[in-house]
Chain A
Amino acid sequence: DIQMTQSPSSLSASIGDRVTITCRASQSISSYLNWYQQKPGKAPNLLIFAASSLQSGVPSRFSGSGSGTDFTLTVSSLQPEDFATYYCQQSYSTPSFGGGTKVEIK
């Protein structure tokens, strides 16, 4: 099984900040990496697929990069509605998710 490790597990940021979340796979997964946003009491919402492709309807301040084992999700200018938990997920083999990164208001 492929293990996905996210860092940090939580962070505090202010409106307008640039935020970067990292995801590392236990083996190479090419670009088969997705990012989701989840708000309390809601289902996850797909943001980025195939490492860097923006899902339809997702604001352009979200971007993804990386390949192989190391990936990043960047929010260029944090907005109030972006405070949430973010998960990475690999689709190279049997799906597995990272442990999540909670983005909180500073």
Chain B
Amino acid sequence: QVQLVESGGGLVKPGGSLRLSCAASGFTFSDYYLSWVRQTPGKGLDWISYISLSGETIYYADSVKGRFTISRDNAKNSLYLQMNSLRAEDTAVYYCARQVVATIGGDAFDIWGQGTLVTVSS
């Protein structure tokens, strides 16, 4: 069964750090681009980071640039998000998502994890 399972969320104080993990199964992990997407409670979706197949290309949303670091370990079929200098506005459910490239152009998030809640509060 193709799936992504996030872990590592929790309650952290402002200025603190947290590392999220995303374990993949049921597909060839190294064949897919991956992203982290977050959703503020009761609100919409925000893409925050992308990593290419071997990690050679990485992008971040401006809101997390310089504070978050995305990485992957293809040998362990795992994606990571190191989050430093956390702020109250980083409170959200964090999803890892697999990206597939459409033959007719563009790409889409076709597989999502169940999400892990990060709460930043004193």
Residues of A within 8 A of B (CB): 30-34, 36, 42-46, 49-50, 53, 55, 87, 89, 91-92, 94-100
A49:B102 contact, CB within 8 angstroms: yes
Most buried by A among B37, B45, B105, B115: B45
Which stretch (B7-15, B75-83, B106-114) binds chain A? B106-114
- A-B pairs with CB below 8 Å: how many? 66
A53:B95 contact, CB within 8 angstroms: no
B residues in contact with A45, CB < 8 Å = 112
Known: A34-B109, A95-B35, A98-B44. 8 other contacts (CB 8 A): A30-B105, A43-B112, A49-B100, A49-B110, A53-B102, A95-B37, A95-B109, A99-B44
User: In the docked arrangement, what's the CA distance between A100 and B35, Å?
Assistant: 20
User: In the docked arrangement, what's the CA distance between A96 and B61, Å?
Assistant: 10
A38 shortest CB reach to chain B, Å: 8
A34 shortest CB reach to chain B, Å: 4
A63 shortest CB reach to chain B, Å: 16
A25 shortest CB reach to chain B, Å: 13
A95:B110 contact, CB within 8 angstroms: no
A94:B112 contact, CB within 8 angstroms: no
User: In the docked arrangement, what's the CA distance between A15 and B57, Å?
Assistant: 46
User: In the docked arrangement, what's the CA distance between A89 and B45, Å?
Assistant: 9
A34:B112 contact, CB within 8 angstroms: no
- Give the residue of B44, B106, B115 whose beta carbon is less than 8 angstroms from that of A49: B106
User: In the docked arrangement, what's the CA distance between A55 and B109, Å?
Assistant: 11
The digit string for B45-62, where 1 denotes a CB below 8 A from any CB of A, is 111001000000001010
Asked, given contacts A31-B105, A94-B59, A100-B44, whether A43 binds B114 with beta carbons under 8 Å apart, the answer is yes
User: In the docked arrangement, what's the CA distance between A97 and B108, Å?
Assistant: 12
User: In the docked arrangement, what's the CA distance between A97 and B14, Å?
Assistant: 27
B102:A95 contact, CB within 8 angstroms: no
User: In the docked arrangement, what's the CA distance between A99 and B39, Å?
Assistant: 11
B102:A97 contact, CB within 8 angstroms: no
